[in-house]
A and B are shown apart, each in its own frame.
Chain A
Amino acid sequence: MKIQTLSSLNIIAALALAFVIGAVLMWVSGYDPASSYYSMLVTPFSDRVYLLSALAFSAPIVLTGLTFALGLRTGLFNIGAEGQVYMGALGAVIAAYFARSLAALPLALAIGLALAVLWSAVPAVLKMWRGVNEVVSTIMMNWIAYWTVIMAVSTAFANPLQPEESVKTPEVARLTPLIPGTDFTVAVPVAYIVALLMYIFLKYSVWGYRISVSGLNPIAARSYGIKPERAVLAAFALGALTAGLAGVLQVVARPPSYSLMRNLANVYGIGFDGITAAMLGRGHPLGVVLASIFLGVMQEGARHMQIEAGTPFEFVRVVQGLIILLLAVQILRRP
């Protein structure tokens, strides 16, 4: 994959330049870049609670980053993680509705992952049978998921006591913070372990090899007796599992609400963050983890930025877009 030709020096240059352009934009729109960046990038390191919260932010991004990275490796632009996260979260809510015991936890995983895989099957099948471009189909599936899940949490799975939330995961089935007083739950190590497993899978398993070869050169893959169509299907399904897991964990392992917001606020945008993480991490599972921690710090920092410097939270996504734009320039630079 072309992504891998990026040197880390290029990535650092892209980051630096993105922050400089971001500073200019911030200054033009009347905010103070210095104090904003200070609260965005330094404050998260000033306190243990902040740092653990940054790691909590990084966990779902790792998982959606793996979805996109896996797609890249297979030669796909799978932008469907966003919708699959919604479906995973919906699965956890459905489980919480039907099971008021510990059984809600395995049920959440089962339903959430199944829904996410189902969601990815549509673009996968359309791609294989009809040659439909996955960029268009996955975005359409994201929007269909958006309205489906909003409808589900506003009707059948609404919380009668708290109208802005879905039903809550029963207390026994919640994954509560490992360190009291923080957001740091088992979701964080789980996400990192999944990334490690993905790395081992891609590097050492037969299917991992098939996926990589199909992405690098589908014609050569065919001559080795590998069917690229199957690799595409596998990449979609595996990617959906990690994205779905991100959605499930955002409900069962995210204090304080342990539910899905009716406007999807606690799952919105995670799929898009994954694109940035995968690009920054050069499509490498362990690179994705590092990039996600960086993005997690930025997200935690953005909360402080909004409070301390008054700069809107959304500025983080402006910088992310700039970083990817600059990476697009860098990627082409052949040695």
Chain B
Amino acid sequence: MIDLILMQALLAAVPILLASLGEILMERSGVVNIGLEGLMLLGAFSGPLFVDYLHYRLGAQLPDPLWPLAAFLAAALVGMAVGLVHGYISTYLAGDQIISGVAINLFAAGAVAYGIQAYWGVAGYKQVPDWAKADPLALAAFALVLAGFMWYVLFRSRLGIVIRACGEDPESAFNVGVDVNRVRLLATVIGSSLAALAGAYLSIAYLSVVTKEISAGRGFIALANVVFANWNPALAVAGAYIFGFFDALSYWLQTAGVARYEITRMIPYIATLLIVAGVIGRARPPRAVGKPFRRE
């Protein structure tokens, strides 16, 4: 039984880990994106939408494993597009990054509810067909490898020094010839696509359904995890696993009939509050995060 929960915890940790990794990359470069929740929603919606459309146009002409791959690709591209908008606002336009992030969340909540209705003609709930489903374990492996890779890039490579410099001291980075805004924009585009992938994982690998509230606060749990992990991809694995554990525990307690499902569903959010309250003291964000860079 316990090994089942631990396995479930891993699967529940994947979206939180992917979104956290994306946010760490963005914030390390100096851009905060609280639109993770919206990006997840858009990814969860656009993946199945794209393969559904492709399936309709091509018929069953693609080899089976290519369908989920196409879904992930579509979600990543949508994430990149949104990341480009947010990144551009945050860098070249020197916009308010928090307001832009709030806007992404609001827009996504509306767009996905509207899109599900507009495309499938159902109110907020669409089953993902079997042929479009992916193996959640493959994504879990991908997320873990990515965490290691991102840790290596951020802390052991020249590129990592450049990215972190943009988030810590953009003035100095600029003085040694780094195009701060370009680095930030690229980090935001890639980071946002990871958050959208996290959403696609929810709909085509983990839950096999698209709903208008499929992300259910996981984007904000990922934001909390970034603080918990102290902006370190390796620690983010541990944090995501802890948050994933509470997510899995809530479903397990629900099926075990221990308490009403409304109570068990609260567990991840209560756990997040407690964890964040407990560890926040030692967390130190990148110094220039959230501040637009302007060369004077």
A positions within 8 Å CB-CB of B? 2, 25, 29-31, 77, 79, 122, 126, 130-133, 135-137, 139-141, 143-144, 147-148, 150-151, 154-155, 272, 275-276, 279, 312, 314-322, 324-325, 327-329, 331-332
Contact = CB atoms under 8 A, between A and B. Distances in A.
B106 A272 contact: yes
A328 B276 contact: no
B146 interface: no
Contact of A318 (B85, B89, B99, B114): B114
Nearest to A68: B102
A116 B276 CA distance: 22
A324 B272 contact: no
Nearest to B272: A140
A320 B270 contact: no
29 contacts: A77-B102, A122-B273, A126-B273, A126-B276, A130-B276, A135-B98, A136-B223, A136-B224, A137-B276, A141-B269, A143-B216, A144-B266, A147-B266, A154-B262, A155-B260, A275-B102, A314-B113, A315-B114, A317-B106, A319-B110, A320-B106, A320-B110, A321-B111, A325-B100, A328-B96, A328-B97, A328-B99, A329-B100, A332-B94
Say which size band chain B's interface belongs to: 35 or more
Contacts of B109: 272, 317, 321
Contacts of A321: 103-111
Contacts of B87: none
Interface string B66-103: 00000000000000000001000100011111111011
A30 B115 CA distance: 11
Contacts of B105: 321
Given A132-B276, A314-B117, A144 B99 contact: no
B63 to A, nearest CB: 30
A251 to B, nearest CB: 20
B245 interface: no
B170 interface: no
Contact of A126 (B96, B99, B117, B277): B277
A331 B277 CA distance: 32
A137 B262 contact: no
Interface of B: 34, 37, 85, 89, 93-100, 102-111, 113-115, 117-119, 212, 216-217, 220, 223-224, 227, 260, 262-263, 265-266, 269-270, 272-273, 276-277, 280-281, 292
A249 B270 CA distance: 28
A325 B111 contact: no
Which 5 A-B pairs give the minimum distances between C-beta atoms? Answer: A321-B107, A317-B110, A151-B262, A325-B103, A324-B103
